[in-house]
């Protein structure tokens, strides 16, 4: 059993917020969270995880911790990414319910009480849905593509998997299992562990300070993590079967490609080029399978290394407000 699950919760609610270069947002955000969660009249904490910020967020976060006794700050020694920041915040939390939200002030803390109330109706995860999302089209596109892909593959009944604002029961997830860009697949992980999931429309505000960290470049990473999720939950005891299926389809496509080249070569009287294209198709197919399976194996090896050693993929420089 993970040491995370061995800890007894001592508060009702933990709000975990990953922060990366949000100097102008962390102060107002912390004020809003403390005010809104305080209205629930339940013991709570706010954990802000500084993911190696370089814009002055560090001093701003220390100021927030000194102003609010409910706020704790975890400072990473270097940037490790949103998923690892979330994992660390969850790991050091002591709440029976854990609420995650972004540090850019686009999520609204007034929705926390609604998410918690719905969660306590018998769910393990309640996911926020930014139905009226206040982002530019270029940022919405990769999110829509990712949601479509994940929904098609997993069947998780959630419209907006990319929305960080979600509430979880403490045992719904094990943060020591979070790596890569897994934060967008947390609802999938809850479902795979047998948890019940619900969805709630939440408010979403335009960004008023700081810069977005999202873009089209994240799509390949989403696809890679999606394949990893498939491996972990469907093929965890037989990963070679997944590789065989991928290799099978790649080989079929290679044969189709080679046949088309052959037909074209016969019609044009250039059979010599057919041999070249056929060999290229075979080489590319074999190379694709090798690269894919190597990446998945490396990921699994790294995960097992951390699991067996009891170490974590984050390096904490210091904590404040604890």
Q: Which pLDDT value is given to residue 13?
A: 98
At residue 219, the pLDDT reads: 60
16-27 pLDDT per residue, tens:
999 999 999 999
> Which pLDDT score is estimated for 31?
97
pLDDT of residue 14: 98
Q: What is the pLDDT of residue 121?
A: 96
Main-chain dihedrals φ then ψ at residue 165, nearest 5 degrees: -65, 100
The structure's pTM equals 0.76
What is the signed CA dihedral for 15, 20, 25, 27, rounded to 10 degrees? Answer: 60
Give me the numbers of helices (H) and strands (E) for the chain, helices first please: 10, 8
Residues (pLDDT < 50) of the chain are none
Burial class (CB in 10 A: 0-12, 13-18, 19+), 40: middle
pLDDT at 239: 61
| Residue 153: closest CA among 220, 223, 238 | 223
pLDDT of residue 263: 74
46 close to 295: Cβ distance less than 8 angstroms = no
């Amino acid at each position: 059993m993970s040491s995370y699950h061995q800890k007894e919760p001592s508060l009702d609610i933990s709000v975990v917020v990953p922060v990366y270069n949000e100097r102008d947002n962390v102060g107002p955000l912390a004020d809003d969270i403390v005010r809104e969660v305080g209205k629930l009249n339940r013991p709570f904490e706010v954990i802000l995880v500084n993911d190696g910020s370089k814009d002055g967020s560090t001093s701003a976060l220390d100021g927030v911790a000194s102003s609010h006794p409910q706020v704790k700050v975890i400072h990473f020694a270097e940037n490790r990414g949103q998923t690892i920041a979330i994992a660390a915040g969850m790991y050091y939390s002591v709440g029976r319910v854990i609420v995650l939200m972004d540090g850019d002030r686009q999520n609204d803390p007034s929705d926390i009480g609604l998410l918690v109330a719905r969660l306590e109706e018998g769910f393990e995860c309640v996911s926020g849905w930014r139905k009226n999302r206040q982002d530019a089209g270029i940022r919405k596109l990769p999110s829509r593509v990712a949601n479509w892909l994940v929904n098609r593959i997993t069947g998780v009944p959630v419209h907006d998997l990319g929305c960080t604002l979600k509430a979880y029961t403490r045992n719904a997830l094990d943060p020591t299992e979070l790596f890569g860009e897994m934060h967008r697949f947390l609802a999938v992980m809850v479902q795979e562990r047998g948890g019940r999931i619900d969805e709630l429309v939440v408010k979403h505000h335009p960004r008023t300070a700081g810069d977005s960290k999202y873009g089209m470049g994240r799509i390949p990473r989403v696809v890679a993590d999606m394949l990893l999720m498939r491996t972990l939950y469907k093929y965890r005891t037989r990963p070679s079967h997944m590789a065989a299926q991928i290799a099978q389809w790649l080989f079929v496509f290679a044969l189709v490609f080679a046949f088309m080249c052959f037909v074209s070569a016969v019609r044009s009287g250039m059979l010599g080029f057919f041999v070249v294209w056929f060999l290229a198709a075979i080489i590319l197919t074999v190379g694709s399978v090798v690269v894919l399976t190597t990446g998945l194996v490396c990921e699994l090896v790294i995960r097992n290394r951390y699991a067996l050693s009891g170490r974590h993929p984050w390096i904490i420089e210091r904590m404040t407000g604890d």
